[in-house]
């Protein structure tokens, strides 16, 4: 084995060790690990891949995640942003894990924040390079937007020294998909996320109004994938109260993750992801 090969082998071994450590310590962190025994916590981790769940979220698709009554999945789109740390703090205070669908350009501009999201055990999904209206672009341009966004997110995560995490979760900006793009993503083993409940936090409202709107919607729906936007100040401000609402009303948070490293369902070079 020459020097270069030895170095490559050593790097792979380090990555594999890190991947195992992440798999053990990361997504499966139990409520018992939470410093506050009365925190909301993360009830369970659900591993999904595109083979079984190519498209999820009843706002856009016929299928969604197999959630039980009173189970919710928290998702945050369009970050990273200046308000993201406030959301991360609220989640950490309650030992709750979420999924962040990042836009590539701000991800490149805020690498520390991207790494912090992953380091705190949240799942990172992708949300294009510039949050373009993909249905208005040519297929080639739309795929370029998708792939440039994924590359930006991944390069920020790799810089962290973590194993290459090609998280195969994607959400269309404005939920504007096309059949051809959906087919393309499915062929690449990428899960396309919609949502079951919208916080509608693109509409300007006070944090109190925001809390009432989403808690009322959840009370009716009783479960589901909830869509928030961490760059929205009204959302960042209301998340602590929303997590209290979940706890007081006996909701349980489900953390969704891609399959671990080496799973054939995520072949083509995918590694353990966060
Ligand atoms: Zn978006």
**Per-residue pLDDT reduced to its tens digit, 57-115:** 999 999 999 999 999 999 999 999 999 999 999 999 999 999 999 999 999 999 999 99
Query: Please, are residues 234 and 66 in contact by the beta-carbon 8 Å criterion?
Result: no
Tell me which residues are annotated as active site: 77, 229
Window from 55-69, 156-170, 197-211, 221-235 with minimum mean pLDDT: 156-170
Interhelix angle 139-158/111-119, rounded to 10 degrees, is 70
Q: How far is the CA of 131 from the centre of ligand 1 (A)?
A: 6
| Fold annotation for 3-266 | TIM Barrel (3.20.20)
Residue 250 CA to ligand 1 centre (angstroms): 29
Nearest-CA neighbor of 270 among 261, 202, 247?
261
pTM above 0.75, yes or no: yes
Cα-to-centroid distance, 122 and ligand 1 (Å): 18
210 band by pLDDT with thresholds 50, 70 and 90: very high
- Tell me, in angstroms, the distance from the centre of ligand 1 to residue 269's CA: 27
Name the pLDDT band for 36 (thresholds 50, 70, 90).
confident
What confidence tens digit (pLDDT) does each residue in 44-72 have?
999 999 999 999 999 999 999 999 999 99
Parse the chain into domains and list their residue ranges: 3-266
Give the chain's mean pLDDT: 85
**Cα-to-centroid distance, 102 and ligand 1 (Å):** 8
232 vs 213: CA distance, rounded Å = 15
Q: What is the mean pLDDT of residues 205-209?
A: 97
Q: Report CA 241 to chain centroid distance, whole Å.
A: 21
Contact 247, 218 (CB under 8 A): no
d(CA 141, CA 126): 16
């Amino acid at each position: 084995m020459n020097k270069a090969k030895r170095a490559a082998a050593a790097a792979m071994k380090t990555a594999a060790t890190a991947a195992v450590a992440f798999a053990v310590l990361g997504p499966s962190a139990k409520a018992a690990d939470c410093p506050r025994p009365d925190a909301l916590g993360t009830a369970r981790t659900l591993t999904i891949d595109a083979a079984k769940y190519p498209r999820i979220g009843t706002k856009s698709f016929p299928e969604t995640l197999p959630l039980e009554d009173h189970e919710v999945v928290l998702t945050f789109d369009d970050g990273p942003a200046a308000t993201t740390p406030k959301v991360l703090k609220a989640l950490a205070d309650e030992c709750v894990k979420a999924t962040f669908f990042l836009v590539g350009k701000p991800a490149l501009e805020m690498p520390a924040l991207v790494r912090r999201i992953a380091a705190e055990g949240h799942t990172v999904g992708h949300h294009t390079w510039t949050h373009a209206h993909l249905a208005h672009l040519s297929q080639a341009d739309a795929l370029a937007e998708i792939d440039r966004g994924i590359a930006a997110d991944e390069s920020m995560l790799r810089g962290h020294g973590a194993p290459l995490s090609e998280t195969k979760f994607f959400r269309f900006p404005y939920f504007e998909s096309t059949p051809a793009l959906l087919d393309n993503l499915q062929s690449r083993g990428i899960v396309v996320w919609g949502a079951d409940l919208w916080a509608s936090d693109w509409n300007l409202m006070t944090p109190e109004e925001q809390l009432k709107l989403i808690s009322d919607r959840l009370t009716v729906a009783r479960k589901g994938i909830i869509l928030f936007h961490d760059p929205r100040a009204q959302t960042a401000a209301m998340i602590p109260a929303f997590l209290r609402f979940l706890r007081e009303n006996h909701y349980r948070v489900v953390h969704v993750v891609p399959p671990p490293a080496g799973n054939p369902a995520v072949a083509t070079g995918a590694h353990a992801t966060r």
